[in-house]
Structure 1
Amino acid sequence: MSFFLKRRGFIAGGISLLAHAVARADPAPVFRFDAIGGGAQIDLSRWRGHPVLVVNTASHCSFRAQLGDLQQFHEAWGPRGLRVLAVPSDDFGKEFDTAAETKAYCETVWGMTVPMSEPVVLLGEAAHPFYRWLRETRGFVPNWNFNKVLLDGAGQVVTTWGAPVKPGSEEMKRIIAPLLTA
């Protein structure tokens, strides 16, 4: 067999192995969040086929202006296929005492229509299953409010960003744009 044919077979075999590995990738678990103020649960599996941006928020945080950025990003990119979820948490001591206060503040001050969960725990063994999964599979643990997690259309983590990266920043747009379905 010539060198070219041997090399071609090796490359084809490598591609076959890669395709097999991708086909065997474990599906992302199904995560549900209780919607703030009651109502239907937010089931991330219903958003499969779309990129999803999950942001842990806090109303009293110095980064709270990102609530407005998050709303604007949702309005601009939602029609293009991006799904956004705001996940309030008081793990860093910067959220209202009740979900009702959080909801009222976000709607009144920031005009938020972004889907929002009830406040959840992000850290430790009491963490919401989504955040436990991030810790166990990616080693990602939010170290402050307004950490962002981008999931692809299959529910797998694409990347994460810390608090300083604003929703709708050029960095985010560059990574999210190729994932959009519309």
Structure 2
Amino acid sequence: MSGLGTGEAPERTEFEGAVYGSLLAASVVAGSAVDDRPLPAGDLVAVLISTGVVFWLAHLYAHVISHGPRPLSWRRLWAAGRREWPLAQAAFPPSVAAALASGLGASDAAASWIAMAVAIADQVSWSVAAAIRSRAGIGVVLLSGAANLILGLAIIALKTLLEAH
């Protein structure tokens, strides 16, 4: 992967950001109910995308300032922004899923659960892809997928508990 200071585009997908962004998206869906009712799908889409972008900006800022006192250049900022973009990009699939579900007549609750399922499926898929890309053995690939599925199931448990109260 290219260094932050080189100004070059990353050579491969930033799996860490994609996994983290998917986990973030699932967490946003889990915590988005208001007054024991799911957010309307349009509001959920807005919250998902805006949260992804805000976290992307926060990570961009952290990467830029944590790489020493070098002068900030547009080239460095652009390279860091591209490297961190998968974090924000991970909000798009669950957002699209929620919008499509709503457009097809699903309730807000159903759209929320569909967005959650897509976010978790993405999280597991990205973690497996990262393990495969790193040429890990089958055991590590399976462990990576299982660990991320467990994290996703923990978020589902949290959502279920929040809805029950």
Q: TM-score range by the shorter chain?
A: under 0.3
Q: Which has the higher contact order (CA 8 A, sep 6+)?
A: 2
TM-score (normalizing by structure 2): 0.23
The two structures have a TM-score, normalised by structure 1, of 0.22
